[in-house]
Chain A
Amino acid sequence: MLIFILRRIGQMIATMIALTFIVFYMVNLPGNLEKLAKTEGNMRMTDEEVQNWLEAEGFTRPFLSRYVEWMVGTAQGDMGYSRVFRKPVSEVVGERLGHTGILMFWVMIVMVPMSLIIGILAGMREGTALDRGLSVGSIASTSAPEYVTGIIFTVIFASWFGVLAKEVSWWPDWLVFKGIAKAGSVNFWNFTLPVMTMAIYGMGYIARLTRASMVEVMTSQYIRTARLKGLNFRTVVLKHALRNALITPFTVIMLQFPWLLTGVVVVEAMFNYKGFGFILVQASGNNDIDLLLAISWVAVIVVLLTQLISDIGYAYLNPRIRVK
């Protein structure tokens, strides 16, 4: 087990170095640097002035040494200075990650239990009307990416409900949601739509996997034995089937994090929620090199850590792998 974890960590570090190197290379392309010089200095700089500016700011030093410096700095917590926010990058990223953390927390709270319940109900009795209905529902939810559900939800629950609340006397005032979520002051009305938007897309996927895994377990020998010895269906599902059926969904939920990152960017841009995804858009739009590097660093770390946890968790939950 220890060797397994160590090997995974070794792979992880290699991946991280490769990925950060690519990002570092891309943001330091001549075009990007020139744009940076012009936004920092003035738009009418001549090529020579641009070159002088870059030299003064230290962008012309050898590429590799700058990369190593950046890596060492980042590992020590000094991520540089954000030129857009005029603040140290670590401050910006820390604050925004907190906002996104709240969003992710509620997404997980909504998404995981609901998708597991849907998957288990559908997979418990394969081929029934309930199974068919839930499966089609899951397919539909995976077909609508965040930017589609976000639009549809905003139109229905914010715009149309808002009109209804004004025009229909019996329409309760509390049943109007907000299409904008302000980071730092979230409540039920402005947070429901972003959370639902993010949760729906992942839900169908996890539910389908849970269903498939549940169907497989329910047709296995030991479940038949349990049924034949006279246990009732409820006990068999809850005590015998669930444990084994949840191994696959667990790993998949962990692997959902990188996917959720794209969702975070879309949802935060759509609902104006100023979190981690929002600064990604701002940083790339303004070519804020230090911030962009820090964001990719955090994103890559999150992705690799979840992969590691998922691997270890899978080995832990499934004894057959552990023995090997």
Chain B
Amino acid sequence: MPEYIGTGEIILQSITRFWPTWLAIGVTLAVAYPIRERLGVFGRLYGSWIGLAGVVIVLFWVFTAIFADLIAVMGPLEQSFSPGMKKGAPGIIDGQNGIIFLWGGDNLARDIFSRVVHGCRVVLIVAPAATLIAYMVGSTLGLPAGYFRGWSDAISSFLANLILAFPVILLFYLLVTPEVRTPIDVNLGFFTIPWSIPIGMAALFFMFPIVFLCTMWFTKYESNKRKLITYLAVTLVLGLWIYSGLVFSSDPFGVIKMDPNTLNVFAAVILGSSPGVYRIVRGLTMDIMTRDYVAAAQTRGERPWYIMLWEILPNARGPLIVDFCLRIGYTTILLGTLGFFGLGLQPESPDWGSMINHGRPFVRLATTAHLALFPALALMSLVLGLNLLADGLREESLKD
């Protein structure tokens, strides 16, 4: 018979096991406090309880992701072979090596605590990265739509509304079913690339960051040819290298690659959230267009793209930062939805949505409820932290 530790002990150990996280949060807050004046709106969060709570929760998960290997006692896929560890209740002690499964074991006798901690890393890489790319896509299309208006605006707005009118879940089911996503090899004459609809979409979306950055350098350093060429060369070489690795897994050095499932998830999530970004960027552009400094830049004879990227975008950063925090939370929820329906990353991946999906059949029994409960609580707390942070930032930026 396996032995258990008590509830008090579970709570205590759940706190102490995160020691690297607590230490890092303490150091960060202590270091940032004296220079808070220079941190802009982030520094002012020290004055708002809601914002500070958000920062602490978000930092908690960020540092947990960074120190995941230190915190987790087992690997995400490592199983225990002692009797009674399958679906073992929280606090169960492994008879063979004395490892305590703080939050219990799952149906394959894996430690849920370690899986949640490792899953944090997955979630915190995919969600912000997908949001960032969605932002690049949304800004690259939203800025000219708001600036030039006219027919290009009409077309891109129609497309954005089209995606927004599409029920997200149906979109996911259509995009990420195995039949649609299985890549077929396409021969391009000198080399073959895998091709499927999600890969095509990813190929389109991942192009946007490169285009976005190149346009930025072009407009800023038009007169300074040497700087322009250096910046462009670095962006293009690095960008296209990463691009070929991520999208077509044909990185010549074999360093950068992305699992096809992850790429599909990226494509689906970016498609789902970029229309929202498009709309907010377009709205902000139309608002900022009326300011005097834009008129001044126009009178100076600046190019439209310079004005968009170097005058309008930096001045829209306040609302955009708030929206960015909210949208990471929203992306996290989308990612979880994909996992919940088994459409997400690999089935054995420790991301929280997939864990909830696996634990779902067991929630109706009190003895096995912990399988889905802990990843659900983790996901909720991360999104809560992001929403609180966004709310705090909004309050502080409105004070100006």
Contact = CB atoms under 8 A, between A and B. Distances in A.
A23 interface: yes
Contacts of B301: none
Interface in B326-368: 329, 333, 336-337, 340-341, 353, 356, 359-360, 363-366
Interface string B145-188: 00000000000001001101111111001110111101000000
A31 B179 contact: yes
Q: Is the interface of A mostly helix, strand, loop or mixed?
A: helix
B373 interface: yes
A84 B359 CA distance: 27
Nearest to A132: B50
Contact of B165 (A159, A180, A258, A281): A258
Interface in A112-155: 135-136, 139-140, 142-145, 147-148, 151-152, 154-155
A147 B340 CA distance: 7
A304 B168 contact: no
A168 interface: no
B166 A29 contact: no
A45 interface: no
B110 to A, nearest CB: 19
A148 B170 CA distance: 20
Nearest to B385: A143
Interface residues of B, number: 47
Interface centre among A145, A270, A280 (most CB of B within 10 A): A145
A179 B333 CA distance: 22
A159 B174 contact: no
A162 interface: yes
B323 interface: no
B29 to A, nearest CB: 21
Interface residues of A, number: 54
Interface string A1-40: 0000000000100110011001100110101101100000
Interface string B124-162: 000000000000000000000000000000000010011
A199 interface: no
Given A31-B179, A145-B337, A148-B356, A163 B383 contact: no
Interface in A189-247: none
A301 to B, nearest CB: 10
A104 interface: no
A19 B165 contact: yes
B166 A151 contact: no
B237 to A, nearest CB: 36
A158 interface: yes
Contacts of A181: none
Given A262-B167, A296-B170, A148 B180 contact: no
B380 A162 contact: no
Nearest to B166: A19
A151 B356 contact: yes
B343 to A, nearest CB: 9
Contact of A261 (B164, B167, B336, B388): B167
Q: Is the interface of B mostly helix, strand, loop or mixed?
A: helix
A144 B165 contact: no
Given A159-B363, A159-B366, A140 B373 contact: no
Given A147-B356, A258-B165, A281 B376 contact: no
B387 interface: yes
A148 B376 contact: yes
Contacts, number: 140
Given A142-B387, A281-B341, A299 B170 contact: yes
A303 interface: yes
Contacts of A265: 169, 341
B316 interface: no
Nearest to A155: B369
Interface string B372-400: 11001101100110111001000000000
Interface string A91-111: 000000000000000000000
B366 A163 contact: yes
A304 B164 CA distance: 10
B183 to A, nearest CB: 11
A19 B163 CA distance: 8
Contacts of A262: 167-169, 337
B372 A162 contact: no
A179 to B, nearest CB: 4
A19 B166 CA distance: 7
Given A35-B179, A148-B380, A266 B340 contact: yes
Contacts of A145: 333, 336-337, 379, 383
B120 to A, nearest CB: 15
B108 to A, nearest CB: 19
A269 interface: yes
B165 A300 contact: yes
Contacts of B369: 154-155, 159-160
A179 B165 contact: no
A90 interface: no
14 contacts: A15-B165, A19-B166, A31-B179, A135-B391, A139-B387, A143-B383, A143-B386, A145-B333, A147-B340, A148-B376, A152-B380, A154-B364, A154-B369, A307-B165
Interface of B: 50, 158, 161-162, 164-170, 173-175, 177-180, 182, 197, 329, 333, 336-337, 340-341, 353, 356, 359-360, 363-366, 369, 372-373, 376-377, 379-380, 383-384, 386-388, 391
**Shortest 10 CB-CB distances between A and B: which pairs?**
A31-B179, A143-B384, A284-B173, A159-B366, A143-B383, A155-B369, A151-B376, A179-B364, A148-B376, A26-B174
